Structure 1
Amino acid sequence: MINVNGNSPLTQLPNVLTLCNITMGLSSIITASFGNFTLAGLLIIIGAFFDRLDGHVARKYRMTSEMGKQLDSLADVITFGLAPAITMFLLSFTDTVVLGFIITVIFVTCGAYRLARFNILNYSDVFIGMPITVAGFLLALLTLFQTQMPIHPYWTAISMLFLSYLMVCKREIKKV
């Protein structure tokens, strides 16, 4: 076990990992805006790695903080809400911009709502609704699939609406 006192720079390691997650999300958006959707999807998946790692490090070495919790939620909205939704908008909805705009807004707002609800509720063994990290990760996988085999925008819209619903529904999902 690492001995970390309150003044050690190591206490910021979970926050640094969270900032790496944010960097992956922002890089994904920028990369998608240049048309490299495969890399954009991969950056979201790398962001998921940092998201998993920051929480693990914070809990294992007892370096959790209110700042870290807030920063993690911000990272989740960027990397698993904005990044996959904007990437999918740019990839799939070029001919149906209004539909794409509406679906993108719904996905991001449902994800933000889901995070806010998670932050105020205290369930230790279940999630209420699908975590935004899972929904964003699945949308990133759909992006990677779609770069190889295009899907009609209406099917993409239905997929995004379904993921949006799963984020805000009150269904209990056991934590693993």
Structure 2
Amino acid sequence: MKGQHIPSMFTMGNLLLGVFALVLALDQEYIQGGFMVLLAGVMDYFDGKVARKLQVSSEFGKELDSLADLVSFGVAPAILAYALKLSEWGYWGLAISLTFVMCGALRLARFNVTTFSGSFMGVPITVAGGIVALMVIGMGKLPDLTLPVVMLFLAWLMISKIKVPKF
């Protein structure tokens, strides 16, 4: 099938941007790391769109996309948030970051084993990770409690049974 690997190139771009965000967190470049998460979101948007347009959607692509999403919208935002602010909370901050990642993984696993019915069950990890990235970018303007409270709320929303329409 011609073009079957093109969507995976976008997915790999998503993954690489997520890893780049992690490297930027290590270098204490938090705002740039937040922007890499947002750029990963652009790549994630296009991988699915291109796969549907080329009619090359596959189980392989779905699984690869979930792995990339866990890194880019679960691990990277959690580490950025931890390195920037949550580390000040000690083990509580670490627990918040780990909770966010675990709930994101559970959300992706549930998505992969359910049939899509026009709406998502729980907030997609891409949305939750994007919100955390935006908060990291604007952290200087937010009260101290905002980040941990919002991250816990987003973690809960990801594993909730709330129906979220696909846009």
Tell me, yes or no, whether TM beats 0.5. Answer: yes
Structure 2 partner of 1:175? 166
Given the two structures, how large is their TM-score scaled by the length of structure 2? 0.96
Structure 2 partner of 1:93? 86
Aligned mate of 1:151, from 143, 150, 154:
143
Structure 2 partner of 1:3? none
1:1-176 matches, cutoff 5 A? 6=1, 8=2, 10-146=3-139, 148-152=140-144, 154-176=145-167
Residue-pair matches, total: 167
Query: 1:52-108: CA deviations, max 9, x gaps?
Result: 000000011101111111100001100000000000000012321211110011000
- Is this contact kept in 1: 2:73–2:128, CA < 8 A? yes
Amino acid in the other structure paired with 1:124? S
Structure 1: 4+ residue segments shifted above 4 A: none
- Cα distance, 1:124 vs. partner? 2.6
Amino acid in the other structure paired with 2:16? T
Query: 1:92-139: CA deviations, max 9, x gaps?
Result: 123212111100110000000001111111123111000000000111
Quick one: distance in 1 between partners of 2:31 and 2:6? 29
Quick one: distance in 2 between partners of 1:55 and 1:123? 14
Query: 1:15-59: CA deviations, max 9, x gaps?
Result: 011000000000001101111011000000000000000000001
SS of residue in 1 equivalent to 2:126: helix
- Cα distance, 1:150 vs. partner? 4.9
Quick one: distance in 2 between partners of 1:115 and 1:93? 24
Is there any run of 5+ residues in structure 1 with no aligned partner, and where?
1-5
After alignment, is 128-137 or 154-163 more displaced? Answer: 154-163
SS of residue in 2 equivalent to 1:11: coil
Higher CA-based Rg: 1
SS of residue in 2 equivalent to 1:95: helix
SS of residue in 2 equivalent to 1:117: helix
Quick one: distance in 2 between partners of 1:69 and 1:116? 11
Aligned identity (percent) is 37
